[in-house]
Chain A
Amino acid sequence: MKSSFRAAGASAILALLAAMPALAADQIRTIDLLTRPQASQPQEFQSVQLIAQEWRKLGLDVNVRVMPWEQMSDIVWYQRDAWDATAWQMVGRPERSDPDEIIYNLFHSSTAENGYNFIGYVSPEYDQVAEAQRVEIDETARQGLVREAQEILAADQPNMMLVNPRQTFAFDNTVWNPESVVEQSGIGIRNTWTFMALEPLGERKDIILNSGDNVQAINPLYISGGVDSWVFELVYDRLARVGPDGLPQPWAAESYEWRDDRTIEVKLREGMAWHDGEPLTAEDVKFSFEAAVSGEAPMYAPFASNIETIEVVDDHNLVFTLKQPAASFITSSLAKINLIPQHVWEPIIEDLKTKEENAESYQEERPIGSGPFKFERWLTNEEIVLSANADHFNAPKAERWILRIVPNVEAALGMLRSGEINFLAEFTGDPQVLIQAAEQDGDLEVVSTVEMGFRYVAFNNRRAPFDDPAFRKALSSAVDRRLIVGAAFRGFAEPSNSVISPALEFWYDPAVFDGFEMGSDVAARQLEEAGYTLEGGRLHYPEGVSEEHAN
């Protein structure tokens, strides 16, 4: 009995298949969408819920998987074939104001196997543009290339860009003159320029600010946590600094000039000195760049590895010769490598060469730089104290810079109101709460700035259906970004369709967002045009494509 039933069933299915060729394609499997937990990343979590809801309207079965960052990054980075889509974020940093790091490292095919192109986006056309912008010294020509790259990405949608969040900070305007606060484009008011410029109004002259994270290291040869960079950007000078407008400007260098596309002449400022009183010379500068590629500072090596030679002309003049032309050289090398005293570090590096560990594990008792603030003391997980370097060419107006570690965000806000801190340098809570608190208090000023960083959903371009640009584009179009801005970010974000933030006005291509159609009807139409079909409410692949990753 049973076998005859089975035979009958099979022949019936065969007949159906013959009658309806559309059914030959497989149903799309359940799509996994990864996110971090609501407790640690409320905006990301809520964005993902909204996205999943919109995708389900298209006939997809979406499974939201919530996991901590450590687990999520382990899957995304080390199991590149094993996931479908994941929420992700890129934070803003001054050196990212040059578009090269994002344009090249995130999407060039050479970084697909082990680098940051973990989505596996491969496009020869894009590769060409990404390579061309690296070596184009002419700013206008390069601007055109960077915009072209953004347009290719907008057409291919390797990722689903969501928003550029706003960074919200606050300060006590009875302690600090609001006029002296500097808003850095894409970064916000918590920046080196503000800390140097803050002008005390009364007797309180110490900048007291908060951070939720511990300081890991204050080491000019180790790129550690984000908070650490607040400290070493003040203790160490660099030849150039990214200015409030997002463009690099001479800093410890009085000037620099391209002689040709591989040679740059640097003239050092006169009269600079290290915090221990020794003069800062061109030899120190040369040493700083060579230390990065000495093998003892692997994290800084990529920022100096393109340098072929550094010639010291005299005490204040140097000539850098590059292996290949590099348009981002000023931002990614001159504004990145910390200047360190040769008389302190040379013996340390020589000693480390004979040992297993490298300079990243070396913590100086008292870091010596030449920057606008001097290191005073560091209490483990409690506070860092820096004092103003009155001899600096851009001496701060405040007396001390005191960073307090406050893991409890509500307490940080309370401290700002009670005066225990006077600059809220990190606030992970709801910005509306902060604004309300400021209104009640009357002495607080809140400043919120569109970030250079961005939030997105990364598609695994290696795996069907995400290997199909039409499918990616439809899924991306399905979600109105204004919904994400309003519901998940409570208005504290700008909708986005580009990896270049609108804060970087020179590089940003407004056309990629203006021409971007959004909504579930748009997405449904795009899917239909690309051959995807709806059967019984579930989305199916176009004809001839079969499911290879069935759950």
Chain B
Amino acid sequence: MPHLKAAISRTLQLALVLWAVVTILFLMFRLMPGNPMAAYIDPTFTLEQQQALMAQFGLDKPLWEQYFIYIGNLLQGELGQSFRYREPVATRIWALLPNTLILTFSSLILAYTFGILAGAYLAWKRGGVVENAAIPLVLTTRAMPEFWLGMVLLAIFSFNLGWFPAGGTRPAGASYDSLWALYTSREFLSYLALPALTLAIYSQGLPLLLMRSNMLDVMKEDFVTMARIKGLSNWTVVVRHAARNALLPVMTSFAIAVGYQLQGNVVVESVFSWPGLGRELVNAVSASDYPLAQGAFLMIAVVVILMNLIADLLYALLDPRISHA
């Protein structure tokens, strides 16, 4: 019974958070300076055209009415039509979301695999020359702006060495039978490499430092001492006993990092001409394309909320001591 109750209250909370996000998004873009008509200003732009556009976009109605129409459409799963592209917002988001997700997850998996291994290693080798060199290095990579890092990688690996292409997801004019065929092709990996590496270098600091400090804590605990007394090898103690326990918080931070990463994508997608949601978001905001901006932000908010939920559930699953009671 307590499980059901917890599930209901969780769902209600979620609905409340989503409603708040939707309302803030709706008001935010409309209160921002700017006007969606700006894109149409032209010597042949007439008053009739302006009025027709306002009506078409639904901007001729009072704000509260626009709000209720928007909420009503959302409840029917309808995100509206983009002002700029004149096509359904959902179509546009679905076309771009896979590219963003693949970039996000590949870079995060790279960052977390490296971060966990290196963090555990640094904890194991505590107090050595390696640690003295590695910690400042990690902090430096954490402080580098992503666009700068991206430009540096572009200049070195693409323009000077010619190892990787400079932008896009595929060679010019190449066609693939399906998205799957594209994503599993060698060319795609070569296009993915630099943007994913940029994001990975930027993101590896968190799991690395987190893993290291968790390991240092865990290594002091009684069960580790117990294991050592039992005469287990150093490797078994560190990997089988300490690392497994230290990993828990790192795994949940992964879920939350997905949300943060979506923001970082905005910059990297522009540097590497990656056709993702982040770039579209910037365009939509600057062009006052309310429906598209709302839709894209909502999509990111949903991913963040979802990942937080998964993080919560994961905690309970991985560590039975934590419950929802």
Name the interface residues of A411-463: CB closer than 8 Å to any CB of B: 411, 414-415, 417-418, 420-421
A62 interfacial contact with B, CB 8 Å: no
From the candidates A70, A381, A406, name the one contacting B96 in the complex (CB within 8 A): A381
A206 interfacial contact with B, CB 8 Å: yes
A265 interfacial contact with B, CB 8 Å: no
Q: Is the CB of A302 within 8 A of B283?
A: no
User: With contacts A70-B33, A361-B81 known, is A408 near B173, CB below 8 A?
Assistant: no
Instruction: Give the shortest distance, in Å, between B271 (CB) and chain A (any CB).
Output: 5
Q: Is the CB of B43 within 8 A of A106?
A: yes
Render A300-320 as a binary contact track against B, CB cut-off 8 A, 1 for contact. 001100000000000000000
- Residues from chain A with a CB closer than 8 A to the CB of B38 are 69-70, 73-74, 77
A102 interfacial contact with B, CB 8 Å: yes
Instruction: Give the shortest distance, in Å, between B283 (CB) and chain A (any CB).
Output: 7
From the candidates A360, A382, A411, name the one contacting B166 in the complex (CB within 8 A): A411
User: With contacts A70-B34, A102-B43, A411-B167 known, is A404 near B273, CB below 8 A?
Assistant: yes
Chain B contact residue count (CB 8 A cutoff): 52
Q: Which residue of A is nearest B34, CB measured? A: A70
Q: Is the CB of A361 within 8 A of B273?
A: no
- Taken together as a complex, chains A and B put the C-alpha atoms of A285 and B151 apart, in Å, by 50
Q: Is the CB of A408 within 8 A of B167?
A: yes
> What number of residue pairs across chains A and B have CB atoms under 8 A from each other?
147
Q: Which residue of B is nearest A74, CB measured? A: B35
Instruction: Give the shortest distance, in Å, between B304 (CB) and chain A (any CB).
Output: 23
- Residues from chain B with a CB closer than 8 A to the CB of A67 are 33
Q: Is the CB of B168 within 8 A of A383?
A: yes
Q: Is the CB of B43 within 8 A of A357?
A: no
Q: Is the CB of A361 within 8 A of B172?
A: no
Name the interface residues of B61-100: CB closer than 8 Å to any CB of A: 81, 84-87, 92, 95-96
- Taken together as a complex, chains A and B put the C-alpha atoms of A411 and B273 apart, in Å, by 9
B146 interfacial contact with A, CB 8 Å: no
- Taken together as a complex, chains A and B put the C-alpha atoms of A385 and B273 apart, in Å, by 17
Q: Is the CB of A380 within 8 A of B162?
A: no
User: With contacts A302-B44, A420-B166 known, is A114 near B172, CB below 8 A?
Assistant: no
User: With contacts A105-B44, A217-B86, A299-B49 known, is A408 near B272, CB below 8 A?
Assistant: yes
User: With contacts A404-B167, A414-B166 known, is A420 near B273, CB below 8 A?
Assistant: no
Given A216-B86, A363-B86, A411-B272, output 11 extra A-B contacts at Cβ < 8 Å: A105-B43, A113-B47, A115-B43, A116-B42, A361-B87, A382-B168, A382-B169, A382-B273, A385-B173, A400-B173, A418-B158
Residues of B within 8 A of A (CB): 33-35, 37-39, 41-50, 52, 56, 81, 84-87, 92, 95-96, 151, 154-155, 158-159, 162, 165-170, 172-173, 175, 270-273, 275, 279-280, 283, 286-288
User: What are the nearest 10 A-B pairs in CB distance?
Assistant: A70-B34, A114-B47, A105-B43, A381-B275, A361-B86, A74-B35, A382-B275, A380-B95, A73-B38, A71-B33
Enumerate 7 A-B pairs (CB-CB under 8 Å) in ascending A order.
Answer: A101-B44, A208-B172, A383-B173, A400-B173, A404-B273, A407-B273, A417-B159
